[in-house]
Structure 1
Amino acid sequence: MTGPGATRLRVGVYDLYWQTLGGGEQVDGSIAQVLAADHDVTLLGPEPPDVERTKERLGVDLSACGFRRVTDDHEASAASADFDLFVNGTYLSRAVNRAPIGYYYVHFPQVPTRRSDVVRQKLCIAGVRAMRALPGVQRSHRLGEVAAGFDRRIVRTDFLPSYTRFLSNSAFTAGWVERLWGVRSEVLYPPVRPSVTPGAKRNLILALGRFFDPVHGHSKKQLDLVESFVAMETRGEVDQWELALVGGADAKDREYALAVKRAAVGHRVRVHVNARGELVEQLLGEATLFWHAAGYGEDPDVHPDRFEHFGIALVEAMAAGAVPVVYAEAGPAEIVEDSVSGRHWREPAELRSITRCLIDDPGERERLSAGALSRAQAFGGDRFADQLLGHLTADLAAVAEPSITGDAGT
C-alpha cells in the first residue's frame, strides 16, 4: 500500500445476532454496506444473514460481503487478527481486537447497577484468584469447570485498550461509555431509511415499539400511554381521535401485552401486537401525533439501560410527518428539538396538556410537522456514511503503513 486508502482493506464486521434483524443489525449491516463499496468485507457471526430478508426488512444490502463463522467473543478475537479493520457491533461483547484498526460500536455498555452485581463481581474475581492458587486445578476437569465459570461471570474491561475508536448510537450512550468504561466515544447516529412518505393524515396518535414488560427492565410504557389517553377521553379532550399501539411481543412479555389490551377495551384505543409490516407502514403514514414514553418513571442514574438510547421508530415517524411528543430524556430528547421538531414531556399531565394544545391548534401541528420532517433528514444514510468514512480516513492516516499491510517488505 502506497498511502492511506490506496488499497482495499480487509474488514471484519462482528455481530452475533445477524439473524434477529434488529436495530443493532441495521447499524452493523449499514457499516458493512458502506465499507463494501471500496473494501473486502467479511461478516462474522454464528450463521450467515439472510441477504434478501435483511434487504427487505432493514434496507441494507449485504450481497457484496463474505461470511466467516464465529460463535463467541473468543473466536471473533482470534479472527480479528486476519483483518486490517475489525468492527465489533455485538451488544455487550468483550472481544479483544487484534487488527491494526478496531472500531467498537456501542449500543449501550454493560451496567452493573445492583448491589448484588457488584458483590458477584468481587466474588468471581476472588474465586478465579483462589482457583489459580490451588494445585491441580489445571489437571482436574471438574475444578477447571468451576474456575471457568467464575471467569465467565467477571465483567471485564481489559478489551478496551485494544480498540482504536468507540462509536455510540447517541450522546446519551456516549456519556455512559465514558462514565462506565472511562473511554471517549464518538456519536454516530444509526442511519434511518424511512419506508413511508407523509400521506393523508387523520386524527390518530401512534405509539410504535415492542411490548416489553417493565418487570424485565426496559419498557416502552404502553400501559401508561393508554391511561393518559383514557383520562383525556373521559374529559372529552380527544373527541374524534384514536390511539394506536403497535409492536411485537414474545412469550415472556405476553402478560404485559394482554394487560395493555385489557386497558384499551371500551376506549378508542387499538392495540396491534406482532402486526404485519403493511399495517405498520399504513399507520405511520396516517398518524398525526407520535407518543413515546420509554424511560418514564425510571432514574437515569440508576437504570440508564431502561431508557431509549436512540429511537429508530421515532425518526421513522418524524420522516412520515408525525409530530413527536416524547419523554424528555436520553435518545428521543436528542432527536426531537423541543418546540422546533416536536415536544418534550416529563409527567403524564404534561403529556396530556401538550397533546390537547396540539389537537386544538392545527397551525402549530403543521409547524412542528415541518420541523420533524426536516430534523429526520439529519439521520439519513448519507450522513452516516460520510461520518464513518471520515473516521476511517483519519485512522488510516494515523497508523503506520507496515502495520496495516502486514507485509510491507514484499
Structure 2
Amino acid sequence: MKPLRPSKTKEDIIVSLGRISPEKNQLEQLLIAKVMREKGMKFDLFIMGSLDKSSRKCMQYYELLMRKMSAWNLKGRVEILANVSRRDMEEIVGRAKVMLHTYKFHLKDLGTIGEHFGIAVAECMSAGAIPIVPAVPSGVWWDILERGRYGYGYHSIAECASKIGMIIKSWSDHELLSRECIRRAGMYSFERFRKEIVKVVRKVSEEAKYISEPQRFSMSVSIGV
C-alpha cells in the first residue's frame, strides 16, 4: 500500500474507492447519501473507481447509479468519478473526513460477510479519513479496524448515515482518531512490508551460519540434493 498525504485542513467530504460494479455495492452508498440529504446533513460524497466500459454488467450498473442519483436529488452532493486519475484521487482523499466502504455479500452457510482485506480502506486511512464499514466478519472490520478501535461499523443504512453525520459534525472530537488511523495504516505500508521481509531474510541467514559443514552435508543427503 502506498500511503497518501492528508490535507492540512479537512472538509465535509466522504470518499469511496473501488471498481464500479454491483459487487462493490455503490448503490447502498447512494441510499446512505439520500438519508443524509433528507436529514439536512452537510456533506459531499465522491464515489471513485475504475469502470470497465467493455463490461455490459458494469456499464448497466453505472447507468443505474446515475439514474438513482438524479431521481434521489443527489446531484451537487454526490459525484461518481469513473476512471479518475491517481493524482485527483489522492487530492480528494487527502481532504476527506470519512471513508465509506460498503462491500459485503451473503453466503448460505456463513451469512453476511465482508471483504477479506480491503486495501482501499487502509489507503484512505493513511490520509486521515475515518473509515465506516459493515460490522460483519471481514478482514476490514476484524483486522484493519479491530472491530471499532480504528473506525466505525454499521448494521443499517440509517445507522451508517447517523454515524457519518456525527463524525462530520464533531470533527474536533475525532481528530485524534484520524491521527490513529494514519498510524494504523502504516502497518500495511510497502515500506513496513519491505523491512519485515529484510528482517526475516537476515534471521534465516544468521541461523544458517550456525550450521556446520558436516551438518549441511547431512542435510543435503537427507533431502536428496
What letter corresponds to residue 50 of structure 2 in structure 1? G
2:155 to 346, 357, 361: 346
* Count of paired positions: 206
| Alpha-carbon separation, structure 2, partners of 1:280 and 1:221 | 19
Match of 1:187 in 2: none
C-alpha separation in 1, matches of 2:84 and 2:177:
28
Q: Does 1:278 align with 2:87?
A: yes
Q: Which has the larger radius of gyration?
A: 1
**Unaligned runs of at least 5 residues, structure 1:** 1-191, 214-218
Q: Where do residues 156-171 of structure 1 align in structure 2 (5 Å cutoff)?
A: none
- Contact between 2:31 and 2:157, CA under 8 Å: does it hold in 1? no
TM-score by length of 2: 0.79
The aligned residue for residue 69 of structure 2 is 264
Opposite residue 133 of structure 2, the aligned amino acid is V
Where is the helix percentage greater, Structure 1 or Structure 2?
2
Amino acid paired to 1:402: S
C-alpha distance in structure 1 between counterparts of 2:145 and 2:124, whole Å:
12
Rounded to whole Å, the distance in 2 between the matches of 1:353 and 1:362 is: 14
Residue 354 of structure 1 and its aligned partner are, at CA, apart by 1.2
Cα RMSD over matched residues? 3.0
User: Is 1:249–2:54 an aligned residue pair?
Assistant: no
Kept in 2, the 8 Å contact 1:209–1:313? The answer is yes
Asked if the contact 2:98–2:131 (Cα under 8 Å) also holds between the matched residues in 1, the reply is: yes
Measure the CA separation in 2 of the matches of 1:197 and 1:272. 20
Does the CA-based 8 Å contact 1:309-1:330 persist in structure 2? yes
Residues 7-406 of structure 1 mapped to structure 2, 5 A cutoff: 192-194=1-3, 196-199=4-7, 200-213=9-22, 219-236=23-40, 238-239=41-42, 241-250=43-52, 251=55, 252-265=57-70, 266-267=73-74, 268-295=77-104, 298-299=106-107, 301-302=109-110, 307-328=114-135, 329-333=137-141, 334-389=143-198, 393=203, 402=220
Residues in 2 aligned to 1:300 and 1:369: alpha-carbon distance in whole angstroms: 36
Q: Which amino acid aligns with 2:130?
A: V
Is 2:5–2:90's contact at 8 Å kept on the other side of the alignment?
no
Q: Report SS of the residue matched to 2:153.
A: strand
Larger RCO: 1 or 2 (CA < 8 Å, sep 6+):
2
CA distance in 2, matches of 1:406, 1:364: 64
Whether the 8 Å contact between 2:16 and 2:46 is mirrored in structure 1 is yes
CA distance in 1, matches of 2:150, 2:109: 27
Paired with 1:221 and 1:369, the residues of 2 have a C-alpha distance of 25
For 2:155 and 2:60, how far apart are their aligned partners in 1? 27
How big is the shift at 1:406? 8.0
Instruction: Give 3-state SS (helix, strand or coil) of 1:298's partner.
Output: strand
User: Per-residue CA shift, 1:59-98, capped at 9, x if unaligned?
Assistant: xxxxxxxxxxxxxxxxxxxxxxxxxxxxxxxxxxxxxxxx
- The structural deviation recorded for 1:351 is 0.8
Q: CA deviation at 1:389?
A: 4.7
Deviation at 1:383, TM superposition (A): 3.1
The alpha carbon displacement at 1:340 in A equals 3.2
Report how far residue 282 of structure 1 moved.
1.4
Contact 2:118–2:140 (CA under 8 A) maintained in structure 1: yes
- Going from structure 1 to structure 2, the CA distance change for 1:311 and 1:360 (only over 3 Å counts) comes to same
Letter of the 2:61 partner, please give it: Y
- In 2, the alpha carbon distance for the partners of 1:235 and 1:280 equals 28
1:233–1:386 Cα change, 3 Å: same
The 2-side partners of 1:340 and 1:210 are apart by: 27
2:45 and 2:87 map into 1 onto residues whose CA distance is: 18
Paired amino acid for 1:332: V
* Structure 2: runs of 5+ lacking an equivalent: none
